[in-house]
Structure 1
C-alpha cells in the first residue's frame, strides 16, 4: 500500500504551514471551531491558517524507500497566554472506522500543552477510501516525522486512539519503538475486519460477522455482536501480542458501548499481558457510558450515520453517566500522558 501522509499537527506554540497548497477539507470529519493561528511573526485572524511551502522528504513505504511529496499542516492553537517555545511532549491522535481527518481532540490536547499529530489513515485526501489492511510502516513513518520536529520532545511519543484507532494504537505500542505510552478507548484488542502488516509480521483479521447485526426498535443498527468473542480460541491468531510492548497501556472502556463489548476485549488483552509478565496495563471502566467517549463538553451521540451504511449506527450511552465518564476520563488520560511523556507547557485552560 503506497500513499502520502494526511495529517495535521496541533501544538501549543507552533506555526501553520502546508507543503502542497492550501489546506484540504476532511471528508466525513467533524469541523472544529477552535481558532487556528500563524507563525509568530505573522498576523492572522482567528480561524485562518497561513500557508507556506515546505520541502519534500524522502520516506520509505512498505520497506521500499522512495521520494514523495507529503502534506503537513501545523496548527498553533491560540490561547490567552504563551506556553513558551517548547519542546513539548508529542502525541499521535487516531479516530475510528468513519475515516477522514478528525482534529478536535488533537486541538484540545494541544491546548493542554501537548504537540499532537492528528493522523488520518483512510477515507481522506489521497488515502484509500476503505481500510483493507493496516500497514504499520505508515504509522512508523509518521512517528519518526513527529519526533524529528524541533518543537517535539523525545525520546518517545504517546498515542491516543478511539475505536479502530484504539486497535491501531495498541499495535503501535506493541511493534513501534517510537511509541512509549498508549491510550486505547473502546476498541478491539485483535485485528477485526482489516489485517495488519509490519515488515515480517502479519496478523490476519477476523472478518466482521455481519449476519449478527441487529436492527433495534428505534430503527438503528447495533454491531455489538459483530466483533465476536475475543476469548474464542479460533481467534487467537488475530490477537495483538500486547506482551511484546515495553511501554504502559491505559484502556478506557464504556460499559454501555453498543458498538462492541470493549470491556471484554480490554480485559482479555490485560489477562494475556499478565500471563507473560507484563503488568503495566491499566483499565478505566465507566458504567452507562457509550462508545463515542470524547472530551468533556461533547454531547452524547447515541446513534448517527456511519459511512455508506443506510441505517444509523447505535453507539449507546446514558446522558448523565456518559457526561461524567467524559469528565473523569479526560483528566485521567492527560495525567497518564504527562506521567509517561513528561510535563507539558503552562496553560490557562
Structure 2
C-alpha cells in the first residue's frame, strides 16, 4: 500500500474543519507533515509537524498529537493555523498557488515524508466564496467596495463589513458572509484606490450613503442591514449604530472601543496621533484624546519594537471628563448588539471597552439582545477560522510601527473558531427577531 494523504473535504469554505488522515506508512514510523500556503497578500507560510504512525501505519490528525513541530496536543486543524510566516520564502514555496483576488481560494499544499522514504502529497483548498456567490464591484457616488451576494434566490438579509486602522477593503470576510446567506458589502473608507490614504476626517455621511445604497440595491429581507467591523471598524460600527439607528438593524463589533479615538497610528504623518478621525455634518466628532489630562504616550514610544500599546489607552480612561465627551452613545442603537473582545489585547483594552458598552446597554434597559463574548487569553486579531495565527507582532499598515496584538497562536486560533460560530448564531437570531417583528 502506497503512502497517501486524505483530506475531507478537500475543497471547502475557509471556516470548514478538515479531517486529515495519513496512511500507507510503516507502523511506528515517524512521519513529517509539511503544510505550505500563500495567503491573499501573496505572503508565504509553512508548518512542519512530526507524528508517529499507529499499528496500521496511519495517522489521524483528529486523534493524534504531533511528537514535535509547530503545535502541541490533538488538533485536526493544527497544520493549518500553526503555519508560520516566511519573510524569505525560498524556492520551496514557489509551487504553492497564489489566491486570485482578495477573496480568492487559498491552496494549502500538504506533503508527508516517512523516515523510511515513503512520500505523499495532497492539496487542501480553502474558499472564501461558495459556488455561485456573485461579486459586484462598488465604485459610485464616492463609495468604494465590493458587494457579495449568495447563490440562492433573494431577498437576503444584509451586512456591511469594515476594516480597522489598516484600511483597505475586506472582500474575503464579505465573501464568507455571502457564503452563509447574507448580501455582504465589503466597504472601504480609506487606504484603497479612490479613497483617502489615511484615517483623517472621514465623514460619517459616507457610511450613511453606503447603507442607503445597499438597501436600494439588494432590498434586504425584512429590511435587515447589520454593520460589523474590527478594531477601529468595531468602534465605527457602534458609532454608526448610535448615529443612524433607523439604518442599522444590528451591530457586530470585533475588539471595539467604547469611546471615539483620534487618528492614532493611521492619520497623516504631519497631523500627529490626536487629529480627528470622524466628522459629522462637517464638524469633528469628539474623541477621547482631546485635552486628555491622563494621556501619556512617552512610555509606549520609548519601547523597543514590537510594542504593546494597550497601556496608553488604559491610562487615558482615567480622565473621566474626556471619556464622557468621547463616549459612544450606544443606548441609541435600535437593534441587537454583539461584542467580541480579547483579554490579552495588545493594541487596546477591548475587554474593558466591551464591558463598558454592555454595562451601558444593560443600565439603559436595551430592548434588544446584548451579547458579549470575551476570550481572556486571545489577542487583538480576531478573525474567521482557518487562517494562520502565529504572527502576533507585525508592522502597522499605515505607520509601519511594529506592534504586538497579544495572545498566543493556540488561544487566537480557538478564539477565531468560537467567535465566528458566535457571530453566525447571533446574526441568525437577530434576523429571526427582525422577521418576527415584520410579521
**TM-score clears 0.5:** yes
Q: Take 2:415 and 2:329, find their aligned partners in 1: how far apart are those partners?
A: 28
- Say if 2:303 is the partner of 1:303: no
Bigger drift between 282-291 and 201-210 goes to: 201-210
Which of 357, 374, 395 is matched with 1:285 structurally?
374
Q: Which residue of the partner structure matches residue 258 of structure 1?
A: 346
Give the root-mean-square deviation of aligned CA atoms.
3.3
- Say if 2:396 is the partner of 1:312: no
Aligned residue runs from structure 1 range 264-275, under 5 A = 264-275=352-363
* Length-normalised TM-score, structure 2: 0.59
Which structure has the higher relative contact order (CA within 8 Å, separation 6+)?
A: 1
- 3-state secondary structure, aligned to 2:249: strand
CA gap of 1:70–1:272, structure 2 versus 1, over 3 A, is: closer
CA gap of 1:190–1:72, structure 2 versus 1, over 3 A, is: closer
* Length-normalised TM-score, structure 1: 0.73
Deviation at 1:303, TM superposition (A): 1.0
Q: Take 1:305 and 1:149, find their aligned partners in 2: how far apart are those partners?
A: 37
- Structure 2 unaligned residues grouped into runs of 5+: 1-39, 42-100, 106-126, 263-275, 290-294, 434-439
Q: Is the 8 A contact 1:215 1:221 kept in 2?
A: no
Which of 213, 219, 237 is matched with 1:145 structurally?
213
- 1:30-58 CA-to-partner distances (Å, cap 9, x unmatched) read 93323799xx8xxxxx9x9798xx9x97x
Which of 243, 259, 264 is matched with 1:175 structurally?
243
Aligned residue runs from structure 1 range 36-185, under 5 A = 68=141, 73-75=146-148, 83-150=151-218, 152-176=220-244, 177-185=246-254
CA gap of 1:97–1:197, structure 2 versus 1, over 3 A, is: same
Q: Take 1:339 and 1:132, find their aligned partners in 2: how far apart are those partners?
A: 36
Q: Is the 8 A contact 2:241 2:333 kept in 1?
A: yes
Q: Is the 8 A contact 1:117 1:146 kept in 2?
A: yes
Q: Which has the larger radius of gyration?
A: 2
- Say if 2:300 is the partner of 1:213: yes
Bigger drift between 320-329 and 204-213 goes to: 204-213
Q: Is the 8 A contact 1:157 1:341 kept in 2?
A: no
Report how many aligned residue pairs link the two structures: 291
